[in-house]
Structure 1
Amino acid sequence: LSVRKIIKKMKIYNPEKDFNIPFFQYEYKKLKISNVKNVNKQKLALKNEILERWEANLLKKKYLTLLKRIDEERKNLCDDLYDQIEKLKKMMKILQPFTNECGRLWDLSKGLWQTIDFSILEYYAQLVEKESAIQDLAEILGRMHQAEDELEEELINETVIKPIKVIDHAQKSELVGIHESNDINYLLPIELTNLDDPITELIFYQKFAEKKLLTYQFLGHNWGYEEEHRKKLAMVAKKTKKGPIIICVDTSGSMHGTPEYIAKTLCFAILRIALLEQRSCYLISFSTSIQTLELTDFNKSLPKLIDFLTFSFHGGTDAVPALREAVQKIQEKKYEKSDVLMISDFIMDQIDSNTEKRILKCKENDTKFHSLI
């Protein structure tokens, strides 16, 4: 392109406030009327200078646009971050009974179910704090399996302190013989005879210096103590991990009212202990049919727990399917040696003999069954 065409395009794409177009127009007109021999070379130099300045101007505008975009994105990111932190703080307050791990709550607050009303959890947490008897019962049931651990033999280290008689040469309670020393107080009379003769007197001093004078030897005794380390067999509690928890809760119409209130609050308290102690927990609600809820995974469990806490108890009572489900669950490795708790008013038909036999079989394999009426 010629200089004239470049300047024409510059007028379209670059307003004069961003680029000094009149200056280049003036320089171009000077060259047109000039009689200089190398005018074409000067026109080329002017053209290159215009293009370089234009390119620099465009790059400047590009970088300014990018910086503006970055600043906007940074502001949006900070707004999202502060909003997320506020959500996290609110969620930490509500879900504090269930977890102390901030990272889990951070992921949770970004999930699809962040719009769920968690206030029901706060409500039951307050009930647990208010009803100390329910909290105590939940803690007792939570450590029941641990309290009934069996004893086993174990080799342990033992330290025994024994008194001993220690010889003390500094004490003079008993004469035991004669020995060589330079103790003048207990010198034998025969050694003193050397002092009577000037010739043997030097021998006396030599023996004194060498601690070879014959003297009486005395001994004394003190009592001291010594430690003896040994191993012995002792009965100690087996170091077993707290087992899983299976809760069967009666949701029939007869449980409506105060029993429902107690059952939900107790379930909430026990489930909270299970989640905090990272114990597997399985909830079976039953009336004429059963509904099950695996409460091991934190993110997946809480929405289902909220559903359980919000629906009302109704319908008839049939505990057998719930007990069968519990027994079936115990067969899984994950739920071996579980603590099974049934919460009900026990206004129901008698359990069939086959189910009773299966329950007894589970008890023989260290599964504990508890009931709350």
Structure 2
Amino acid sequence: MPKLKLQSAKQTQQALTAVTDQLYEELHQSSLKHWLEDEKAAKTLDEKVHAWAYQAKSSLDQQHPYQAVQLQLEQWLEQSAVSEAEFEQMHQQFQAFQQQLGMPAWGDLWQFQQHAGQPAKAALNLQFQLLKEKWQRKLTEAVAQWEFEQLALQRDAFLDEIKDFLATLQKMSKHKDALGADTGIFIDYSTGRLTEQDVLQFEEWSRYLAEDAELQKLCAMMGNAQPAKYKRKALQVQAAPLTPPLPDQHALEAISGIHLAQDLNLALPSELALLADPDLQILFDLKYLESNILGFHLQGEQSGRVIDDPRRAPKKLGQKGPMILCLDTSGSMHGQPELIAKAISLYLAMQSMKSKRPMYIINFSTNLTALDLNQGYALDDLIHFLSQSFHGGTDLVPAMQHAVEMLQQPSFGHADVLVISDFIMGGLPAELMENIEQLQQQGAGFYAAAIGNFRIEHLNDALFDHQWIYQANTGQVVQLS
């Protein structure tokens, strides 16, 4: 049975465009309209609107509420003529449809002719054709109205989501100076999953930084620290002949074939043609979700020189490499010390995001958990992670052992290891100290920031290249020799 084309793809697109224009118009009239003038924010907003429009269009392919009525009409459209009894049945179905739309009964014409006596066969068929046309027109209008209403509802929900995103961006961007960041950081590294509590926590850490110049100075010293015991040597680069050009999948220079993917920009015309037929749109959506859209495969070539294992070679003097941060959230850190430690951690993490410096955070007490910012985690994930606390005993050993293990990984070889704690703990095992000594000789740096009025001499001698104490009672930073 052929299915009625009640709403063309062009009409759906026109309705979607109208709703999208209304969305932008409302944003321009809101108190957040200044973000539309920010280049990066406007680009991100356009991307979100484009993704929403595609999702909204796909959702309209679901069965509309007049599916049963459409099926009835399709059955009558297959007939070229009807009997009087069949016409009466058809008329009753149409009247029920009218009532579903909330419209008054429409049957005076048919009732008049039926009361006048048996209509002629030609007159009956004419009425049949007119009723089919009337029914189809009303059904098309009803479906179009339903689609517009659905788009309007989705637009309102999406508009609230966008306003929440921009409001959160506005709150967080007020603290960019304290974090040494720019607005783009909050856009690039946000996935829009921050709750109101997350934003309040972020603002608390940021305000603490903004109001404490000594704490900002400590953050800068920790971020720029260099090993003191074993100086880093310049990176030895050994030139080698140019290698033959190699295929580069990221240099999209020339068509090299056809493959299955999810890239709409490179989709074959035959695939995009599916969107022109409402019956085939769902097939296109399924292929898109399964990354099975046929498209052009582009690639280029690259050439380069070979150097001596840059992942394991010592960093150049002054070069900022990866960072491993050990954050103490034990019970003794509860309160202001933990607030200070997390404010420092947030600053260092924001700086790592800004400079694209790999960073690995270990949250420890007697247990530990970790977050690798080098693995595509967003600012949302960072705030959620820093919000966690153990509030148990203090055991630095598992955290340092894990840091040593990470230093064996190519992506974190010769990283800087920073420990933020009150250091109310014992010493480290001799075997672990030997491992740390070897890593220091290879160029790794170990640094400590003690939060409180404690000294760190009770730990193993020469464990850290630099040691700082943030004195909570005076708000001063002391660097130990």
Query: TM-score band, normalised by the shorter chain?
Result: 0.5 to 0.7
* 1:308 Cα deviation after fit: 3.7
Instruction: Please give the secondary structure, in 2, of the residue aligned with 1:347.
Output: coil
Instruction: Supply the distance in 2 between the matched residues of 1:300 and 1:151 (Cα, whole angstroms).
Output: 33
* 1:10 Cα deviation after fit: 5.1
One-letter code of the match for 1:139? A
Q: Is the 8 A contact 1:243 1:337 kept in 2?
A: yes
Quick one: structure 1 residues 71 and 302, their matched pair in 2 at CA, closer, same or farther if it must change by over 3 Å?
closer
One-letter code of the match for 2:220? E
Structure 1 position 350 matched with structure 2 position 431: no
Structure 1 position 341 matched with structure 2 position 426: no
Instruction: Supply the distance in 2 between the matched residues of 1:353 and 1:290 (Cα, whole angstroms).
Output: 22
Instruction: Supply the distance in 1 between the matched residues of 2:221 and 2:347 (Cα, whole angstroms).
Output: 11
Q: 1:133 maps to what in 2?
A: 214
Q: Deviations over 1:11-39 (max 9, x none)?
A: 5234562672145437765x6xxxxxxxx
Q: Is the 8 A contact 1:246 1:338 kept in 2?
A: yes
Instruction: Please give the secondary structure, in 1, of the residue aligned with 2:325.
Output: strand
* 1:45 Cα deviation after fit: 2.4
Structure 1 position 102 matched with structure 2 position 187: yes
Q: Deviations over 1:309-365 (max 9, x none)?
A: 3536442x3322222211111000111121111123333222232222211211122
* 1:126 Cα deviation after fit: 1.7
Structure 1 runs of 4+ with >4 Å offset: 26-29, 94-99, 113-116, 145-154, 237-241, 297-301
| Equivalent residue runs for 1:134-149 within 5 Å | 134-144=215-225
Q: 1:229 maps to what in 2?
A: none
Q: Is the 8 A contact 1:7 1:21 kept in 2?
A: no
**TM-score, length-scaled by structure 2:** 0.49
Quick one: structure 1 residues 263 and 48, their matched pair in 2 at CA, closer, same or farther if it must change by over 3 Å?
same
One-letter code of the match for 1:12? Q
Q: Is the 8 A contact 1:256 1:314 kept in 2?
A: no
Structure 1 position 90 matched with structure 2 position 167: yes
Q: 2:204 maps to what in 1?
A: 123
Greater C-alpha radius of gyration: 1
Q: 2:157 maps to what in 1?
A: 80
Quick one: structure 1 residues 50 and 269, their matched pair in 2 at CA, closer, same or farther if it must change by over 3 Å?
same
Uncovered stretches (5+) of structure 1, i.e. residues with no partner: 32-42, 155-236
Q: Is the 8 A contact 1:248 1:286 kept in 2?
A: yes
**2:368 aligns with one of 283, 286, 290:** 290
* 1:146 Cα deviation after fit: 11
Instruction: Supply the distance in 1 between the matched residues of 2:426 and 2:234 (Cα, whole angstroms).
Output: 39
Structure 1 position 362 matched with structure 2 position 439: yes
Instruction: Supply the distance in 2 between the matched residues of 1:342 and 1:91 (Cα, whole angstroms).
Output: 31
Quick one: structure 1 residues 5 and 340, their matched pair in 2 at CA, closer, same or farther if it must change by over 3 Å?
same
Quick one: structure 1 residues 331 and 10, their matched pair in 2 at CA, closer, same or farther if it must change by over 3 Å?
closer
Instruction: Supply the distance in 2 between the matched residues of 1:77 and 1:359 (Cα, whole angstroms).
Output: 57
Aligned length: 274
Q: Is the 8 A contact 1:344 1:372 kept in 2?
A: yes
Instruction: Please give the secondary structure, in 1, of the residue aligned with 2:128.
Output: helix
Q: Deviations over 1:97-124 (max 9, x none)?
A: 586363653xx23x5x758643211211
* 1:284 Cα deviation after fit: 2.1
Quick one: structure 1 residues 26 and 336, their matched pair in 2 at CA, closer, same or farther if it must change by over 3 Å?
same
| Equivalent residue runs for 1:142-161 within 5 Å | 142-144=223-225
Quick one: structure 1 residues 301 and 86, their matched pair in 2 at CA, closer, same or farther if it must change by over 3 Å?
closer
One-letter code of the match for 2:144? L
**1:311 aligns with one of 357, 372, 389:** 389
Instruction: Supply the distance in 1 between the matched residues of 2:429 and 2:390 (Cα, whole angstroms).
Output: 28
Instruction: Supply the distance in 2 between the matched residues of 1:258 and 1:119 (Cα, whole angstroms).
Output: 16
Q: 1:271 maps to what in 2?
A: 349
* 1:282 Cα deviation after fit: 1.7
One-letter code of the match for 1:328? E
**1:331 aligns with one of 391, 408, 413:** 408
Q: Is the 8 A contact 1:250 1:285 kept in 2?
A: yes
Instruction: Supply the distance in 1 between the matched residues of 2:211 and 2:409 (Cα, whole angstroms).
Output: 37
Structure 1 position 25 matched with structure 2 position 114: yes
Q: Is the 8 A contact 1:283 1:292 kept in 2?
A: yes
RMSD of aligned alpha carbons:
3.6
Q: Deviations over 1:190-217 (max 9, x none)?
A: xxxxxxxxxxxxxxxxxxxxxxxxxxxx
Q: 1:8 maps to what in 2?
A: 88
| Equivalent residue runs for 1:154-193 within 5 Å | none
